[in-house]
Structure 1
């Protein structure tokens, strides 16, 4: 595998130089803000004490927050991270704690959980760095801990949103929650319901000749609708010296997509083919979890338990039918049940400058999948025995770890963790197989603060991915005439990851953060051909990915008081040896560049905020053995205005892409596969989506 070129490395290091120069120039421009504030100045950036900055409620007075979510997203240089969407607790940990404990829910986002905590019940918000962060959440470099008041008042919050689309449809959303005290415990109930998606993609597609001329083309219409409702509850409090937490949720959702494409040959006035399809999905999902925490022989012990399940029913129907001939449709129907049971026991204790945490986790996961492919005239379908797929995949996984968060000096901290993971995956059915794996997962993170406002971090970690159970079963995208076989031979991909970070903070909110990442993959997952001529997800021996990320929050009060610029730019590249062509290519489905920025202006005395944002990215490419897909770069922008001039009420109005936006995709089919370089046909698709507007009203009671 080729190493990163010096040119690419030099380009990737550029943000670090920019970080240093911008941080210095911004600090000079904001000279009035650079003087380190006394800790009593509650609306200034809190001082860093033992790796922790404590934000009091007065820091957020400018925005008149209603919930803890409003406060957390206001902390400069911090972004809520829900953790990875994986099985178990270890790698799924987010970077937000509540009263020093991570929520046990995996079905709910951290933002949703924070949005149910009234701002009036927040005592303070702590931003922890280095060893202080690792002591509470091993593996995280920045952690927020929301500390609630001991005597919370019963209160609730509600929000109603109406979103309009160009077709004239209105998407409603309702979210409400209420927190009360019962027998000394905080009890929170919530309800969320919305029509989440009402999108109409209108455009055209056609087939191109090798010379780039359309041999056929015509209009298409793609309409998508989805809705869901979710009920939640949470209970927490203390029973003597024992902390107790419990939570649960139940969700139901539905999705429906209809699409039609009419194809005309060159200069024809009547169509010769009509393509049409229907996709549906229904989902039911529940979760219940909780934890118990107390001191045991000088150690803080915590037992967390969680059980969850998801049931899905999917149908994908598509037909590509010549006008005047009998219709023939392909249909793939699948039903699946995903279950997860997790138990995690941890103990932590402070020994001088060291915070030691050790423990283990056991988890059982299961997928029960049934699918069948059929062909028919749209009313009557015939299923062949060879087109029926039924399998059950189960995993027993165990994990043991020990971590040490060491404060070497006030300026230097070191976190080291060693984790061992044992797993056994068993699959039943025609491709039944049982396999066991063991992987050590070391991690080392160091943070150095040579002077106030500057932080340098380096992280080295071995990450072991989790196999998607869905990859063991057959799947299909009938609309693209593609089917994927299940692969019982899959192995988890392993990644050695290195990260270097430079961060500059100044004034009340100024932050510039630049990071450089290098990742080396073993057993990387990509689509490969199977022996029977099909396609399945498989492993390639080696792959690499590298790049940088820059984020910024820059107050522009030197130009206009209350003006601020936020943003992010990510550049990444990747390389693997293609299993078809044996040539180097980027990862499939990996978007290398993303840029977004937001400029906001606030007038605290009038309780008014406004802003505008811009995003550019989504230049994806996907590779199948006999196809490539290329999506074009997209732009999106919007603006918003919010007022909290009315007591306990917030009104926000915004627009997104008011002139609409356009997407395009180029699909190239090769014969017999990409190795030949012989193009069978090229399909170009272009679709437009109307802009949207929204009105959001939030209140407390």
Structure 2
């Protein structure tokens, strides 16, 4: 993937781009940032968007670049990678329109974080939290990173743990179809996850302009879920129910790229190898006070996922920016699942689980070409066109092999309508990604749901039309509005399988449309120095034909409403800051063969924070979360047969989460 790394002369930092909205380190001084992430999160009106997990690598997605390049790898999330870059290494942050860049696939506002490492620097953070109810204190979340440079080689070594403890408890009421009371359930659960990850990132640039990157990472997963509860109801025996779930395993990724001048342009090779091993075990037991034998079930699954990608890109300039690319991607899932039932002697015996064990793999080839140029001093065009060929093969349960040919591409147009107003339009034909686990049978014992598995799944395709307006409000801040409409063919939703089974599968078509508005408003012009408000509002409607009833309904679990409001006040002349946030989100129901329901938390999450900057060289932050008493809820209607309408029971869950107190301390060295 990369030639042997060598030391070279210091590579120059690219000059600032004319027309870009540029922020220097001094613009963030009042926030005392510790990392590039701390700085980017304070850019007015900008919201970090993680890259879409495309098939293979594909063209660029997301909205963050590092030194004009896509963030490398697939396991490296944007937030994690930026958090490992010390703020002292950031030269500037440029906000540009994606269609004006020579990186196909980008659109809308894109942040280019320009960095230059000098010497050896480190950063660290520790973020414990404590909950009042149902949850053990969480002490192990944090990160530490060390970065440096010598000659043309930059390196970053990081250790992170995205740990989280959560829990909730409370009652669930079960009603008969006529509204009469059937059963009361009282449950408490807690989940604890640790994901320690070690990573090494190497970047190389020599005096001739050759650029290379090498990324290595390895991660362990530790997850435990415990739920205990009681069941009571008229004419029913008293019961105690316990749920135990475990997940372990590990994953690693090795990826790299190398780019150099070749002929009239530049040639780039990219390679990546990923592997994930994820064994899980779920067990549910119900014990009866009247002496009835204990009932129990256990579900196990051992899955191994492999992904290998080889990609090449060649770009050159000739009356515009040209690029051609070719990519090969191989994906494979090897999974073995088993279901067990507890007998009266206390022994778990395996029962038949059709479709639970198989191997699913895909070979995919993609060729794309793109062209971009400025049509006028204020209008820029970017286009791409190509196609992919893929072969999906399943061996074992439901063995099947199929091949597909899919066109794909996009057209983007950027118009600088006024000195402080940018308009962006994009039409894209995209091929979606599949979850190979959806091909296989699985059982959710806790929620009493079974997926039969579906070897006939095909990748969804979509036409996506988007328009965005970005307005610079000067001293008042920045705001933007994005309108979008998508038509999705072969959308993946829950469909009937056989006589009485169900599983993720393809429906003919669906539509989705909505808007997203966001903005940052500085309160300096109103006389409130050091204060700003961040706001975001997204609304979405979707429609798909229900495969059981033939009626139009929303896409299962699709976003409907999202709203965020945040206030931050950095008190002038001090090292103190304070503020708060309100968050609301609401999703459509999940539509299954025998039930319709919505699992959600809220309706509103509210928090307050206080921050001390530069306390003996550290930043201290205390946050009190869920001050609005957001709840964990599940409302569902379970049918005897949803096609004909008779209801079996109605379930209404309302569990308390409680306040969440977190503390963060971070620093550099």
Which TM-score band applies after superposition, normalised by the shorter structure?
over 0.9
Q: Name the CA distance, whole Å, in 2 between partners of 1:251 and 1:160.
A: 19
Q: Is the 8 A contact 2:473 2:479 kept in 1?
A: no
Structure 1 pair 485–388 and aligned structure 2 pair: CA distance change class (3 A): closer
Given candidates 441, 452, 461, the residue that maps to 1:485 is 452
Q: Name the CA distance, whole Å, in 2 between partners of 1:338 and 1:198.
A: 26
**Residue in 2 that maps onto 1:96:** 64
**Residue in 2 that maps onto 1:309:** 275
After TM superposition, give the deviation of residue 50 of structure 1 in Å: 4.6
1:70-94 Cα offsets, whole Å, 9 max, x none, are 2222222222222112341115643
Matches within 5 A, 1:104-253: 104-133=72-101, 135-149=102-116, 152-167=118-133, 169-172=136-139, 173-182=141-150, 184-193=152-161, 196-239=163-206, 241=208, 242-253=210-221
Q: Is the 8 A contact 2:60 2:70 kept in 1?
A: no
Q: Is the 8 A contact 2:304 2:333 kept in 1?
A: yes
**Residue in 2 that maps onto 1:554:** 521
Structure 1 pair 449–513 and aligned structure 2 pair: CA distance change class (3 A): same
Given candidates 560, 573, 576, the residue that maps to 2:541 is 573
Q: Is the 8 A contact 1:634 1:663 kept in 2?
A: no
Of Structure 1 and Structure 2, which has the larger fraction of its residues in helix? 1
**Residue in 2 that maps onto 1:654:** 623
Out of 599-608 and 399-408, give the one that drifted further: 599-608
Structure 1 pair 214–141 and aligned structure 2 pair: CA distance change class (3 A): same
Residues 1:636 and 2:605 aligned together: yes
Out of 333-342 and 482-491, give the one that drifted further: 482-491
Q: Is the 8 A contact 2:557 2:587 kept in 1?
A: no
After TM superposition, give the deviation of residue 197 of structure 1 in Å: 2.4
**Residue in 2 that maps onto 1:590:** 558
- Secondary structure, in 3 states, of the residue corresponding to 2:336? strand
Q: Is the 8 A contact 2:104 2:370 kept in 1?
A: no
Given candidates 461, 464, 472, the residue that maps to 1:494 is 461
After TM superposition, give the deviation of residue 271 of structure 1 in Å: 5.2
Residues 1:339 and 2:306 aligned together: yes
Q: Is the 8 A contact 1:667 1:682 kept in 2?
A: yes
1:374-398 Cα offsets, whole Å, 9 max, x none, are 1114952111345572111111111
Out of 366-375 and 197-206, give the one that drifted further: 197-206
After TM superposition, give the deviation of residue 202 of structure 1 in Å: 0.9
Given candidates 451, 473, 476, the residue that maps to 2:418 is 451
Q: Name the CA distance, whole Å, in 2 between partners of 1:138 and 1:386.
A: 42
**Residue in 1 that maps onto 2:263:** 297
- Secondary structure, in 3 states, of the residue corresponding to 2:80? helix
Q: Is the 8 A contact 2:60 2:106 kept in 1?
A: no
- Secondary structure, in 3 states, of the residue corresponding to 2:437? helix
**Residue in 2 that maps onto 1:539:** 506
**Residue in 2 that maps onto 1:8:** none
- Aligned Cα root-mean-square deviation (Å): 2.1
After TM superposition, give the deviation of residue 608 of structure 1 in Å: 2.5
Given candidates 626, 638, 643, the residue that maps to 1:675 is 643
- Secondary structure, in 3 states, of the residue corresponding to 2:573? helix
**Residue in 2 that maps onto 1:23:** none
Matches within 5 A, 1:279-298: 279-298=245-264
Structure 1 pair 386–692 and aligned structure 2 pair: CA distance change class (3 A): closer
Q: Is the 8 A contact 2:104 2:384 kept in 1?
A: no
Give the 4+ runs in structure 1 shifted more than 4 A.
47-51, 385-388
After TM superposition, give the deviation of residue 621 of structure 1 in Å: 0.8
Q: Is the 8 A contact 1:130 1:413 kept in 2?
A: no
Q: Is the 8 A contact 1:104 1:306 kept in 2?
A: no
After TM superposition, give the deviation of residue 457 of structure 1 in Å: 1.6
Out of 241-250 and 178-187, give the one that drifted further: 178-187
Q: Is the 8 A contact 2:170 2:655 kept in 1?
A: yes
Q: Unaligned 5+ residue runs, structure 2?
A: 1-14
After TM superposition, give the deviation of residue 139 of structure 1 in Å: 2.8
Structure 1 pair 92–126 and aligned structure 2 pair: CA distance change class (3 A): closer
**Residue in 1 that maps onto 2:242:** 276
After TM superposition, give the deviation of residue 321 of structure 1 in Å: 4.8
After TM superposition, give the deviation of residue 615 of structure 1 in Å: 0.8
After TM superposition, give the deviation of residue 532 of structure 1 in Å: 4.2
Structure 1 pair 534–91 and aligned structure 2 pair: CA distance change class (3 A): farther
Q: Name the CA distance, whole Å, in 1 between partners of 2:17 and 2:191.
A: 51
Out of 660-669 and 422-431, give the one that drifted further: 660-669
Q: Name the CA distance, whole Å, in 1 between partners of 2:416 and 2:129.
A: 46
Residues 1:517 and 2:458 aligned together: no
After TM superposition, give the deviation of residue 56 of structure 1 in Å: 2.2
Q: Name the CA distance, whole Å, in 2 between partners of 1:218 and 1:238.
A: 62
Out of 221-230 and 55-64, give the one that drifted further: 55-64
Q: Name the CA distance, whole Å, in 2 between partners of 1:374 and 1:113.
A: 42
Q: Name the CA distance, whole Å, in 2 between partners of 1:509 and 1:611.
A: 19
Q: Name the CA distance, whole Å, in 2 between partners of 1:608 and 1:296.
A: 53
Given candidates 57, 63, 68, the residue that maps to 2:36 is 68
Q: Name the CA distance, whole Å, in 1 between partners of 2:609 and 2:652.
A: 35
Q: Is the 8 A contact 1:121 1:153 kept in 2?
A: no
Structure 1 pair 49–182 and aligned structure 2 pair: CA distance change class (3 A): closer
After TM superposition, give the deviation of residue 259 of structure 1 in Å: 1.4
Structure 1 pair 144–375 and aligned structure 2 pair: CA distance change class (3 A): same
**Residue in 1 that maps onto 2:228:** 260
1:534-567 Cα offsets, whole Å, 9 max, x none, are 1121211121111111111111223311221111
Q: Name the CA distance, whole Å, in 1 between partners of 2:355 and 2:402.
A: 24
Q: Name the CA distance, whole Å, in 1 between partners of 2:127 and 2:469.
A: 39
**Residue in 1 that maps onto 2:6:** none
1:563-587 Cα offsets, whole Å, 9 max, x none, are 2111111111111111001111111
Q: Name the CA distance, whole Å, in 2 between partners of 1:138 and 1:528.
A: 32
Q: Name the CA distance, whole Å, in 1 between partners of 2:98 and 2:228.
A: 54
Residues 1:690 and 2:658 aligned together: yes
Q: Name the CA distance, whole Å, in 2 between partners of 1:481 and 1:239.
A: 59
Structure 1 pair 544–376 and aligned structure 2 pair: CA distance change class (3 A): same
Q: Name the CA distance, whole Å, in 1 between partners of 2:149 and 2:16.
A: 34
Q: Is the 8 A contact 1:50 1:410 kept in 2?
A: no
**Residue in 2 that maps onto 1:7:** none
Structure 1 pair 50–123 and aligned structure 2 pair: CA distance change class (3 A): closer
